[in-house]
Amino acid sequence: MMAADEGRRRGLGRGLSALLGDASSGDGAQPESGRVARMIPVERLKPSPYQPRRHFDDEAFAALVGSIREKGVLQPLLVRADPGAEGHFEIVAGERRWRAAQQARLHEVPAVVKVLSDRDTLEVALVENLQREDLTPLEEAEAYRRLMEEFGHTQEILARSVGKSRSHIANMIRLLGLPEPVRRMLDEGQISAGHARALVNAENPVGLAQEIVRRDLNVRQAEDLTRKGQAPSPQKAGAMAPKDPNVAALERELSEALGLKVTVTTKKGGAGKIAILYEAPEQLDDVLHRLKRP
């Protein structure tokens, strides 16, 4: 098991171990003597715009505040210089400790200052939260999207950088194509990421999500419900010819690439059309941005 854990950490790109040494990533870890930490006033620190995490568990946060009030901040934050304010810093890793330190009435916290690019900042913040399993599914998906859109990562490169499979990356990004009511239910924990993945290509994802919650269905039951919800009516079923397997595979590939439902309709003679279903203008903007990329 230990060898597998070490292999996973090596697969996490630069990660925290490459930037901070091999110290534990837990909040209670003692700082190593090899790392140069300095005390920085809390008012000179601010969250990074590249921090993927947006939600903090209230109970766990309260426990962290109590620990910091009693023992102080034992693991330094990782920060970089704020380009817009001399003498101030952006938090790359450790925003929760910074917020808890303020609640505990501390005036300064230990921090390691590193020179990091925007891409490194986002990647390290993402890796740190993935190691701790702190991100919600949508936070994780949005971080993957930003690494791909803003910094040119392919799914293959991204998978290697964060120690995940390419299919996991693709499936998570597809969650961003869900309508807002379903994303809200996912964020609030009413449905799981497995439930949400089953709804990505559904014709009525909002109604199906509400039915999943109402009936308290597990993921497999939700998948069955989604298949039934998408099944054509008996009248239409008799008139529809089965879709060519190659066309169906193309639909799946396009849907995964765009994170939206895509249908391909072919006609005699080779002509056809591609339809992309989107729920909000920003999703259409995202598609246009992808199409314009060289």
Would you call 123 a catalytic residue per the annotation?
Answer: no
Per-residue confidence (pLDDT) for residue 15, from 0 to 100: 42
- Given a contact cutoff of 8 angstroms between Cβ atoms, the answer to whether 184 and 159 are in contact is no
Give me the helices (H) in the chain, please.
2-10, 15-20, 58-71, 95-103, 118-132, 137-151, 155-162, 166-174, 180-187, 193-199, 205-215, 219-230, 234-239, 245-258, 281-292
Residue 197 inside a domain? The answer is: yes
Please check whether residues 65 and 79 belong to one and the same domain: yes
What local confidence, expressed as pLDDT, does residue 35 receive?
Answer: 57
| Same-domain pairing of 51 and 81 | yes
Among candidate residues 90, 95, 140, 279, the one labeled active-site is 95
**Residue 206: per-residue pLDDT:** 92
Q: Same domain for 135 and 11? A: yes
Mark whether 160 and 206 lie in a shared domain: no
DSSP one-letter string for 260-274: SEEEEEE-GGG-EEE
Q: Domain check: are 77 and 217 in the same one? A: no
Contact between residue 276 and residue 262 where contact means Cβ atoms under 8 Å apart: yes
Low-confidence ranges of the chain (pLDDT < 70): 1-35, 52-57, 129-134, 229-243, 256, 268-270, 278-282, 292-294
Residue 134, domain CATH: 3.90.1530.30
Residue 104: per-residue pLDDT: 93
Same domain, 39 and 130: yes
Q: Which residue has the tokens 């098991």?
A: 1
> Any idea which residue has 């909000």 for tokens?
280
pLDDT at 21: 41
Residues 1 and 146 in one domain: yes
Domain boundary among 177, 200, 216: 177
Return the H-helix or E-strand segment holding 112: strand 108-113
Pairwise CA distance, residues 191 & 14, whole Å: 33
Same domain? For 262 and 146 the reply is: no
Output b/e per residue, 128-150; b: 16+ Cβ within 10 A. Answer: bbbbeebbbbbbbbbbbbbbbee
- Our count of domains for the chain comes to 3
Contact 141, 155 (CB under 8 A): no
Supply the pLDDT for residue 132. Answer: 61
Is-above-0.75 flag for pTM? Answer: no
Domain that holds residue 211: 178-233
38 and 150 share one domain: yes
